[in-house]
Structure 1
Amino acid sequence: MPGKAAEMLETTRSELAPDPNVNPLVPLVAGGRASLETLAALALEQHRVIPADRRAFLHLAQRASGDPAAAGFFTMLAEGEELAAERLGAFTEACGVDAGRMQAYDPLPGCQAYPAYISWLALNAAPADAVLAITANFATWGTYCAAIAQGLRTRYGFTDEACAFFDFFAEPAPALDEQAEAAVQAGLDSGRLDERRVYTYGRLLQAYEEMFWSALS
């Protein structure tokens, strides 16, 4: 029988799961109807999101130094962002983006609201609360990445290397899930986890996730 932490994680994911029809862009990519220009913008925005999120997760890990479970969770997230960054270049190249275009790109405010809020959480949220909110959002992100990877292969003819960035986030991460559960349980045991705040953080994070895709579309 699942423990309290596992139940809370599942409930939070379920309650914060977006309407399947709310994302305007992922279905276009999955169906091959998004332009290469839009895919290029997705790549360029991710070149800003990934390093920003990595630094935010490292800061959360540092703030959670007295909570080994939460610190381990955020360290794993930061390491994952580093691995994702290594895979992003092939997708960027497949979209026809060179170094000059990347340097000249002006990011969209709607896309950068998400990493800005992750940074806000890194500075202001209790690490135990941030674990739960971010885990709920990652479930949504992983689903989107799986659909994009399939669309890039079947509709655009992108290679496995070019799809590796999205494959990485689409794959199950049982070790990360276990670390998240341990962190949430530690927060519950210590009384540091506030369910009302978690829901607010998660709701805002999902809203900024939706804003990211709407801005691109």
Structure 2
Amino acid sequence: MTTGARELLETMRARADIDPLANPFVAAVVEGRAPVASVAAFAAEERHIIPSDRRSFLLLAARAEEPVAVEFFTTLAQGENLVLPMVSALAAGAGMAGPALAAYEPQAGCQAYPGYVAWLALNADPAGAALALVANFAAWGGYCAALAGALRERYGFDDTSCAFLDFFATPAPGLAEQAVRAAQEALDAGRPLTHARRYARLLHDVETTFWHTLAAVAH
């Protein structure tokens, strides 16, 4: 029996770890063990990731064959535009002001994620990439929600400082459904999306590397 897009997405999600406290960086922040400098590093890494992901999403939109996939990736790119200014506020809340933020040197372990998203933009079937991306959204949203709560409770961050995390803590309605529709249209058109599970697995792995790299800063 041919696997449908929704079933394919569920198999991808099953592999993703959605327990925030299994994430070593999130756990350190939730428990108050992480130095505030590691939170600043998180914000500084995101400052490099966001523009890269925005360009990748726009390229995926340009390459996509299904109109719903074009809409999906365009929405993601617009979201990156919205959150980029919020990163500076998060960094400032962690004591990293403008010049220090601009001078920050990103770490390879954190930048592996946008590097792989850029690879997807150049090489992947956009419909399969859309499924892979939404497969990790629940975990990412859970991590952001946990971080936002802990930074307020344990570190005294205000709403402005936590706006970046709050944005992702509640997934945008309809994104997963758009990805499923795009993938189903691709499957119905005879494109088997053979590598979609691989895309999801590697995205999960490079995101895990991102968090473990930050966890090393938190010690």
Same fold (TM over 0.5): yes
Structure 2 gap ranges (5+): none
Residue 144 to residue 19, structure 1, CA distance change in 2 (3 Å): closer
Inter-partner Cα distance in structure 1 for 2:179 and 2:85 = 24
Matching residue of 1:91: 90
Residue 201 to residue 171, structure 1, CA distance change in 2 (3 Å): same
Q: CA deviation at 1:177?
A: 2.1
Greater displacement, 109-118 / 28-37 = 28-37
Residue 83 to residue 92, structure 1, CA distance change in 2 (3 Å): same
> Which residue identity does 1:41 align to in structure 2?
A
Q: Structure 1 length as normaliser, TM-score?
A: 0.92
Matching residue of 1:210: 208
Matching residue of 2:46: 46
Q: CA deviation at 1:19?
A: 7.2
Inter-partner Cα distance in structure 2 for 1:192 and 1:70 = 14
Q: CA deviation at 1:37?
A: 0.8
Inter-partner Cα distance in structure 1 for 2:25 and 2:81 = 25
| Cα offsets for 1:173-212 (capped at 9, x unmatched) | 22212211211221221122424x1111111111100100
Inter-partner Cα distance in structure 2 for 1:208 and 1:158 = 28
Q: Percent identity?
A: 51
Matching residue of 2:9: 9
Residue 103 to residue 165, structure 1, CA distance change in 2 (3 Å): same
Q: Counterparts of 1:139-150 in structure 2 under 5 Å?
A: 139-150=138-149
Inter-partner Cα distance in structure 1 for 2:190 and 2:169 = 33
Partners of 2:63 and 2:126 within 8 A in 1: yes
Superposition misfits of 4+ residues, deviation over 3 angstroms: 19-22
Partners of 1:30 and 1:151 within 8 A in 2: yes
Other structure's SS at 1:34 match: coil
> Which residue identity does 2:183 align to in structure 1?
V
Inter-partner Cα distance in structure 1 for 2:170 and 2:18 = 22
Greater displacement, 183-192 / 197-206 = 183-192
Residue 137 to residue 193, structure 1, CA distance change in 2 (3 Å): farther
Q: Counterparts of 1:154-169 in structure 2 under 5 Å?
A: 154-169=153-168
Matching residue of 1:122: 121
Q: CA deviation at 1:143?
A: 1.2
Matching residue of 1:61: 61
